[in-house]
Structure 1
């Protein structure tokens, strides 16, 4: 294997995989999903989802990448040349994730700069709308939010700098620094949050179980969806990273380390988030139900409001939080970029640095187009469509290709050779039958939710995305056939 495409040890791989898994969703999504889906009772479907989907599918992805040691597009092409088109569709969808993900990181970087003097003022919502993320007012589509534009451009330079280096010297080296630092920062924030007056109010609100919700199918779907996006399942990241592993790697052991680290991070972070929300409720007298939100509303509007009333300690916690989000986001963005970067470099027989340069320029240009006055609206539309329509469907299709067409018998010896955890018939049963059914069901529910209340402009954006993905996939597939 090309040296620039190999980890020097399993440690680099583990940190890179943790970095790809631990991202924005762990910080701003999990706590809301836990709260709104039965509180403490949600841990039952959550743990079951990890056991029958998260761990088994990551076993499969690690085995595929380690066995083939090739780009994702070439792996599917080797199984059947017709499947290369599917591979390019997936890596293109995942590349689109990088494009809008970098815009969110641009917002965070702007908040990081603003946190030193609380530039958001007394109205964090107005600051976000006017300066950072814009609104859904289509009349603002031609106006650029210059501070966000500059931050996004800067972050693409950083991403290019890391991604263009050899795998171990770039992603591996930076992950080994950023991930421990991220865990230390979040550890400090969580411990401090638990000492705040009113923290108990938040924890009780978060964990109070609603056992009746276990009979609601939507709670189970929410648990499986959380695991899919939290672990970045099926997005060719794990397959690509595993293809760089050295011989004698303990694949099953590595999966358990990554899954445990990811779950521990998001559960602990949920305690920290709700402790801080409880403090706000206790101090300002605001009901918890009015504070609890997810995504940008929680991080960029609710939290700045809380920092405003924290006093001097808020001046410390605010920069640390936005720095932690930045570190989590950069390592995840590297993971989202890698499947396209690897496939693109292998396809066109070019150096990693050149491929990273081309993709960073293309990706950066599209990211900048998302920094207009409707930035947050566009990001929300693209995020919903790419994940609920594109990636979910392609994960299910991968399951069918690897389990039913290629065959799982090839991967069992690979997984069992060095790992302490052994797999067998139960794993085959899950991958061949249980998982595809769940994935297709979640996809259908997602499609109903996605298009049920979609506005005309949102449908136009969805059509543009699917056309772009199809064109890129067709062109790249045909180029390969002519070479």
Structure 2
């Protein structure tokens, strides 16, 4: 035991709680707030969507955020290692979350590449006033060149080249590590994003027709609340946006120092994320109101572009704002930064898991993870069929990936392993905001009921009619096939042996209470010794 202890690699750590909070907000506040939330909210009933959204935030988002924090901080590991330390049979849950991040990373990067190109386009107003819609779909993505849904090999340079650059930048940040790479990047990029975001929202409110857009955004469609798909969308979005249920917060919280306010940090992250999302909706729909007025139509006539919403609405702001080119460069640059901070958190789940499993160094693991993902990302999303593949993968990984793994994880940890009382105690010993029976009810009772119902509803909806009217073979590969393969691969990876140099112990009776008391960050390096027992633990 002593030899294994001294040979174990050291675990990195965030330099401070503030760096962790900024990094967690950087993961939560990203492309989803601007690219995804406005159209999800509008399609989900406008102002009425705030009801399922707040329900999802309070009953699932925040409770499960605390749940992830407690697991990561108490068991001090990546998602697979943390779940393994809870119980060996729970390890596949961690790998399931890792594989979800694999899928998300390959399409998330391309949206950052879109924003990077729009940073350049903004300098010259390349799209031209009134041509934002056609420019995005036809001139930029070349999606109109494809007559039928399929997988094209036709390369789109204006997407492929910035996609390569995005991956190179992200790989560089990841290779520097948690403290020097991820932490420092968030300390720089998040304040810049905040400033640029606020400027653009204020500017959009002064556009003619902005109030019409805001009325359309906030006007409630109460009938939408009767649609289970709307509730599923709210919960799926909350999990995606808060980085809950796919290993990010488990991994990030494992890098925290032993004495850290977990729930206080979680509340800051959750409400900062929601604040950004509401501001994004205001900014986007104020611009859509202007577009509708300029075209002499209703807001509904310009709000049906789905995932292209941000890349149509915000160029409209840039085209009509005083000093629009400068503001556009700053805004889309900030959007790139927001995407990068989220992407590095997604990749960190994968890198940390392989580091723990194989005992490899940081640079080696980063390259082994990132280079293949970059190649897959290029192959799928730098072609003329990128949009349909992205749409399908995003819809299925949210509905059947994130929600499903959240449901199974809660059932396993709460009901099969009975770990909620221990996690509650861990949260309360280290937090300014204590959790009680309501938290356990939300996580262990309400969460499984709601998630189970929504999951079944989504299965019924997507089996009764082909999603997006895509061909069966297309959905079988990028939809159902992807979802099923994630579970199978998670089980396969779980049976592979852990390296002797990894953080895992071979003892199945690994004492989580020793883990809880055994971590102190080195003030010079910021790393945490993963296996050195405390004096109290050694005596025990």
TM-score range, shorter chain: over 0.9
Counterparts of 1:40 and 1:311, CA distance in 2: 27
Q: 1:344 to 1:73 in 2, by over 3 A?
A: same
In the TM superposition, residue 40 of structure 1 has moved relative to its aligned partner by 2.8
From 283, 302, 311, the equivalent of 1:272 is 283
RMSD: 2.4
In the TM superposition, residue 210 of structure 1 has moved relative to its aligned partner by 3.9
- What is the match of residue 193 of structure 1? 204
Q: Secondary structure at the match of 1:324?
A: helix
- What is the match of residue 480 of structure 1? 497
Q: Secondary structure at the match of 1:100?
A: helix
Counterparts of 1:442 and 1:185, CA distance in 2: 36
Q: Secondary structure at the match of 1:277?
A: helix
Q: Secondary structure at the match of 1:8?
A: coil
In the TM superposition, residue 307 of structure 1 has moved relative to its aligned partner by 4.2
Q: Secondary structure at the match of 2:431?
A: coil
2:299 aligned with 1:288:
yes
In the TM superposition, residue 143 of structure 1 has moved relative to its aligned partner by 1.0
In the TM superposition, residue 463 of structure 1 has moved relative to its aligned partner by 5.4
- What is the match of residue 415 of structure 2? 404
In the TM superposition, residue 218 of structure 1 has moved relative to its aligned partner by 4.5
2:363 aligned with 1:350:
no
Give the structure with higher Rg (CA): 2
Runs of 4+ in 1 over 6 A off after TM superposition: none
Counterparts of 1:325 and 1:364, CA distance in 2: 20
- C-alpha contact 2:13 2:178 (8 A) present in aligned 1: yes
In the TM superposition, residue 475 of structure 1 has moved relative to its aligned partner by 4.7
- What is the match of residue 509 of structure 2? none
Counterparts of 2:368 and 2:431, CA distance in 1: 38
From 330, 334, 342, the equivalent of 1:324 is 334
Counterparts of 2:430 and 2:489, CA distance in 1: 39
- What is the match of residue 33 of structure 1? 40
Q: 1:140 to 1:432 in 2, by over 3 A?
A: closer
Q: Secondary structure at the match of 1:29?
A: helix
Q: Map of 1:382-397 to 2, 5 A cutoff?
A: 382-397=393-408
- What is the match of residue 446 of structure 1? 458
Please give the per-residue CA displacement for 1:229-271, whole angstroms capped at 9, x wherever unaligned: 2212111101100000002100010010001100111111211
In the TM superposition, residue 436 of structure 1 has moved relative to its aligned partner by 0.8
TM-score by length of 2: 0.83
Q: Map of 1:10-409 to 2, 5 A cutoff?
A: 10-121=17-128, 123-130=131-138, 132-135=140-143, 137-138=148-149, 141-211=152-222, 213-214=224-225, 217-293=228-304, 295-304=306-315, 307-308=318-319, 310=320, 313-370=323-380, 371-406=382-417, 407-409=419-421
- C-alpha contact 1:124 1:301 (8 A) present in aligned 2: yes
Counterparts of 2:448 and 2:150, CA distance in 1: 43
Count of matched residue positions in the alignment of Structure 1 and Structure 2: 482
Counterparts of 1:138 and 1:41, CA distance in 2: 34
In the TM superposition, residue 139 of structure 1 has moved relative to its aligned partner by 6.8
In the TM superposition, residue 464 of structure 1 has moved relative to its aligned partner by 5.0
Counterparts of 1:345 and 1:48, CA distance in 2: 37
- C-alpha contact 2:264 2:431 (8 A) present in aligned 1: yes
- C-alpha contact 2:396 2:483 (8 A) present in aligned 1: no
Q: 1:294 to 1:395 in 2, by over 3 A?
A: farther
Counterparts of 2:321 and 2:86, CA distance in 1: 60
Please give the per-residue CA displacement for 1:382-432, whole angstroms capped at 9, x wherever unaligned: 212222222221111111122112321111221111322111111111111
Q: Secondary structure at the match of 2:435?
A: coil
Counterparts of 2:432 and 2:476, CA distance in 1: 49
Counterparts of 2:375 and 2:330, CA distance in 1: 29
TM-score by length of 1: 0.93
In the TM superposition, residue 61 of structure 1 has moved relative to its aligned partner by 0.6
Q: Secondary structure at the match of 1:336?
A: helix
Counterparts of 1:322 and 1:106, CA distance in 2: 11
- C-alpha contact 2:284 2:313 (8 A) present in aligned 1: no
Q: Which has the higher helix share?
A: 1
Please give the per-residue CA displacement for 1:320-346, whole angstroms capped at 9, x wherever unaligned: 332232111111111111111101011
Please give the per-residue CA displacement for 1:171-195, whole angstroms capped at 9, x wherever unaligned: 1111111111111101000111112
Please give the per-residue CA displacement for 1:152-202, whole angstroms capped at 9, x wherever unaligned: 111111111111112111111111111111111010001111122222211
Q: Secondary structure at the match of 2:456?
A: helix
Structure 2, unpaired ranges of 5+: 1-7, 501-540
2:434 aligned with 1:422:
yes
Structure 1, unpaired ranges of 5+: none
Please give the per-residue CA displacement for 1:129-157, whole angstroms capped at 9, x wherever unaligned: 45543435357712111221111111111
Counterparts of 1:33 and 1:146, CA distance in 2: 30
Q: 1:131 to 1:472 in 2, by over 3 A?
A: farther
- C-alpha contact 2:475 2:481 (8 A) present in aligned 1: no
Q: 1:329 to 1:481 in 2, by over 3 A?
A: closer
Counterparts of 2:249 and 2:493, CA distance in 1: 22
After TM superposition, the structure 1 stretch with the greater mean CA deviation from structure 2, 450-459 or 61-70, is 450-459
After TM superposition, the structure 1 stretch with the greater mean CA deviation from structure 2, 467-476 or 445-454, is 467-476
- C-alpha contact 1:388 1:450 (8 A) present in aligned 2: no
- C-alpha contact 1:13 1:172 (8 A) present in aligned 2: yes
